[in-house]
Amino acid sequence: MQGLRNNPNVEYVEVDPRRYPMAQTKPYGITMVQADDPAFSSTGQSGVMVCIIDSGYQKAHEDLQDSSVTGTNDIGTGNWNEDSCGHGSHVAGTIAALNNNVGVIGVAGGGSLNLHIEKVFNGSDCAWAYSSSLVTALNRCQTAANNAGKKLVVNMSLGGSISSTTENNAFQTAYNNGVLPVAAAGNDGSTRKSYPASYSSVISVAAVDSAKTVASFSQKNDAVELAAPGVGVLSTTPFKPASLTANGTTWLGSNIDGSSRADVSGTLVDGGRCTASGSWSGKVVLCERGDISFADKVLNVQIGGGAGAVIYNNVSGGFAGTLNGSSNIPRSASVRTTAGPRARQSTLRRLWSILRALVTATSLRRHLDGTPHVSGVAALVWAATSARRMPRCAMRCRRPPRTSVR
């Protein structure tokens, strides 16, 4: 080697470095629900339609299919193929993100699944929609599936604590016609029932984490029938999170639900766990997770004059959060670290190194809580089972006696 270096005809000699693939990530839920089982590897999903009733579908996202997708939007909610708050696209990615060597992969990510999108939420916070809008969306889901000659799974990562006779009747009729409705059990962390999940015609799904532990926020009542991966699920989101600039360096994190999406800059200061307000005028305040709610931390930063808040995890991994409303100062969250408690003793560069950088507006992914895996699995199973056998079992065998999930 030294002889080659000394050879006047050789410009230089160096190590040939390795390059590792920067491809898609398999979220933990894929293996947990056995969506990668070889039994499904050669099975297309063209005979099944999943209708997602949510906030829309960011069709331009590189990880979301742009074929075999139809949709409708309620009046005033904008176009169904755009998603202003990201919730519906996150759900869609969990169910069907493409197996395309980038981003993440969905439960039924083969690309042949028929999707129908019903947009009932709109705005940056996708605050709420009427039960009647949900019934209208359900009816349109059935029309789309019937016109296409597809079996229908309806996914609803939504709910409320008040039941509706009209809604109950609509879902019972759909179920009697062979539709499989699936809904989140609720995120109050109590035994209170949520609807439509708690109707007898709808599968109510609780959330578990990667260790199969029931999530603290998940409902625990006698209407719950299944539990599925639903804590910090990595999936697609359509928008670029708000940026934070400190000491001339700009970083991106994931927005807490209810947060402002404006960009902000300022000097980074350590707020500890932000359990009380400080002298933070114009500053970007770093808050460790713990002791009080995210909403109270952000409120303390706001009272102290802070320009923005960054909440970081004190255990390994990402996380999702909500402000249970809205706030007018920007902040980023789902900041990942493997050494959260030590981060405050680090330099500014090390503090920011724990932020999970996200790159382009059309190829983003983030962690959220939710349970759309069941709808994806239902599509896989229906697609892999004969057209005659599966509907009969769904009608006669699906619902066991209810038992509480503890």
Instruction: Identify the weakest region by mean pLDDT among 20-29, 201-210, 225-234, 304-313.
Output: 20-29
Residues 187 and 62 in one domain: yes
The pLDDT value recorded for residue 262 is: 59
In a shared domain, residues 198 and 347: no
Is there a single domain that holds both residue 151 and residue 298? no
**Reduced DSSP (H G I as helix, E B as strand, rest coil) percent helix, strand, coil of the chain, to 5:** 25, 20, 55
**pLDDT at res. 41:** 62
Query: β-strands 151-156, 48-54: how paired?
Result: parallel
| Same domain? 162 vs 263 | no
Task: Report the DSSP pairing between strands 243-246 and 249-252.
Answer: antiparallel
Name the token pair of 256.
């807490």
Of the ranges 13-27, 74-88, 101-115, 252-266, the best mean pLDDT one? 74-88
CATH of the domain at 104: 3.40.50.200
Asked, for residue 70, whether it belongs to a domain, the answer is yes
Residues 205, 71 share a domain? yes
Using the structure block, give the residue that is written with the tokens 């029938």.
225
Banded pLDDT at 153 (limits 50, 70, 90): very high
- Of the two residues 51 and 63, the one the predictor is more confident about is 51
Same domain, residue pair 177 and 212: yes
pTM over cut 0.85: no
The reply to whether 253 and 321 lie within a common domain is: yes
Backbone angles phi, psi at 152, to 5 degrees: -125, 125
Give the structural domain span for 172. 28-237+368-396
Q: 145 with 177, same domain?
A: yes
Amino acid at 303: I
Does residue 98 register a pLDDT over 80? yes
CATH of the domain at 272: 3.50.30.30
pLDDT at 349: 38
What total number of domains does the chain contain?
2
- Whole-angstrom Cα distance, residue 287 to residue 299? 12
Residues whose CB is less than 8 angstroms from the CB of residue 93 and which lie 6 or more positions away in sequence, other chains included: 61, 63, 64, 103, 104, 106, 235, 236, 237, 365
Q: DSSP 3-state assignment of 66?
A: coil
180 within domain boundaries? yes
Same domain, 122 and 179: yes
Are residues 348 and 295 part of one domain? yes
- Mean pLDDT check: name the lowest of 89-98, 314-323, 369-378: 314-323
Tell whether 267 and 377 lie within a shared domain: no
- Same structural domain, 303 and 379: no
Asked whether the predicted pLDDT for residue 16 surpasses 70, the reply is no
CA distance 319 to 138: 31
